[in-house]
Chain A
């Protein structure tokens, strides 16, 4: 039982490049989310999904896309990287928001130069 697996752990991008952050969970959780963590800002929700085929925007969705074709996978796409997207990204999953807390992935530290 691996929990929530994120790849890569570290990434450096040039401004304008695109990339996909991968997230997979093996706990059959319906809810999955992407957060970014910046100093002094806590965890801010980018996008979330309540089940396969269903996604919605969070607080800071601009510049990011998501899809949820299976229960297990929830990739985050950066369309055209900008220095403001330099951050630590966490994927998280839960059976439902009030049935238990999130299980977080180990994070991806992204630097955009």
Chain B
């Protein structure tokens, strides 16, 4: 089955700085890669996703990049704000299969 590894497990940045979270996957057939944000005590919520036919996708201050050859994808948050503090999960899936999640990154943005 798929194996998704996520790094780092914790990340602290100063407000206004950028944050980068990286994930690797093992199954070359995986072709859909969503990212979720989970605030304390809340449910995970989809924030951005990317498909394997695209190398990069942006949505305001967040962006995701995908390197199919190396089998890794990354979440980039620019101009971080305190409300970006949360746990972020990456995931990978392929047609007919379920999502496999990374173990999460706890991001703290220091005002």
Contact = CB atoms under 8 A, between A and B. Distances in A.
Partners in one complex: yes
A101 B90 CA distance: 11
Interface stretch (B56-64, B65-73, B76-84, B93-101): B93-101
B31 A90 contact: no
Interface of A: 31, 33, 35, 40-45, 48, 50, 58, 90, 96-98, 100-107
B89 interface: yes
Interface in B8-24: 9
Q: Most chain-A Cβ atoms within 10 A of its Cβ — which of B9, B34, B43?
A: B43
B34 A101 contact: yes
> Interface residues of B toward A: which range?
20 to 34
7 contacts: A40-B9, A42-B104, A45-B100, A90-B44, A98-B51, A102-B34, A107-B43
Interface in B31-53: 31-32, 34, 36, 42-46, 49, 51
